[in-house]
């Protein structure tokens, strides 16, 4: 099978992907993006590699709806020593409604430690790489102290069904917490630019979501049982 630098596919939005209005959940959208990356890697023969998302920006102008047929495209747009940036678009009827830009760290499946990119990575994906200085530095602020004005805390239960092959909450599952906070604060889900960053992984059990809104923008943090930041999200209108 011939390797391709840009992977394209078509996918229909199903009933399990959408909310009661028929709009795709953000965690479903993150799942579409994750699946496209996996399919691309599988097609190109990189089946023995393990990748962990460090950061993702979702730019949503119009989220797909129930039974929409999406044209999915994904490619490697940047690299660093042990990580790669992937851009993915979801289009319906020729119009891109979602663009995701994610930084994936290449890790050792046993230790979880970052390792160099596969030897043939540049040969396979090099045609679409435009940025060779991609950083994995986290940019979000720490959560505000307990008692800070305007800050709310929400108890969050991590289900066993949220865990993936690495034994931690899958990156797409965190977007369910984002949906909950946006509902609590009566904020529109589209158009929106949402950036998520990942720290320590979450295990099964109790967690906490801390959130605040300032000038129409929302920040939230998902904390583990020891109040360590597992993920942080910044939301702003596009």
DSSP one-letter string for 153-202: EEEEEEPGGGB-TTSSB-GGGGHHHHHHHHHHTT---SSEEEEEEE-SPP
Series of mean pLDDT values for 10-residue runs along the chain (238 residues): 92 98 98 96 87 96 98 98 97 98 93 90 94 95 90 95 90 96 92 95 94 92 96 91
Domain ranges of the chain: 6-128, 151-236
Give the pLDDT score at 174.
Answer: 97
Find residue 45's DSSP bridge partners: none
Angle among Cα 27, 37, 110 to the nearest 5 degrees reads 95
**Contact status, residue 223 vs residue 146, Cβ threshold 8 Å:** no
Give the pLDDT score at 168.
Answer: 86
Fold assignment, 6-128: Thiol Ester Dehydrase; Chain A (3.10.129)
In this chain, the answer to whether the domains covering 6-128 and 151-236 adopt an identical fold is: yes
Q: Which CATH superfamily is domain 151-236 in?
A: Hotdog Thioesterase (3.10.129.10)
Give the pLDDT score at 201.
Answer: 85
Give the pLDDT score at 238.
Answer: 67
Structure tokens given for 56: 């993702």
């Amino acid at each position: 099978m011939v390797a391709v630098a840009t992977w394209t596919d078509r996918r229909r939005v199903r009933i399990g992907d959408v909310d009661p209005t028929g709009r795709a959940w953000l965690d479903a959208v993150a799942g579409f993006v994750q699946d496209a990356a996996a399919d691309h890697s599988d097609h190109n023969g990189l089946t023995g590699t393990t990748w962990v998302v460090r950061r993702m920006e979702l730019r949503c102008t119009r989220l797909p709806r129930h039974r929409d047929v999406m044209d999915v495209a994904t490619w490697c747009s940047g690299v660093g020593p042990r990580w790669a940036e992937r851009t993915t678009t979801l289009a319906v009827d020729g119009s891109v409604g979602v663009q995701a830009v994610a930084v994936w760290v290449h890790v050792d499946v046993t230790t979880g430690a970052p390792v160099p990119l596969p030897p043939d990575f540049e040969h396979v994906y090099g045609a679409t790489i435009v940025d060779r200085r991609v950083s994995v530095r986290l940019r979000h602020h720490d959560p505000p102290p307990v008692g800070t004005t305007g800050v709310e805390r929400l108890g969050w239960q991590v289900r066993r069904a949220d865990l993936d092959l690495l034994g931690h909450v899958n990156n797409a599952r965190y977007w369910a917490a984002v949906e909950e906070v946006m509902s609590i604060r009566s904020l529109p889900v589209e158009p929106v630019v949402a950036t998520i960053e990942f720290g320590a992984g979450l295990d099964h059990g109790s967690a906490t979501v801390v959130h605040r809104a300032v000038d129409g923008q929302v920040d939230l943090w998902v904390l583990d049982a020891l109040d360590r930041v597992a993920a942080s999200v910044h939301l702003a209108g596009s």
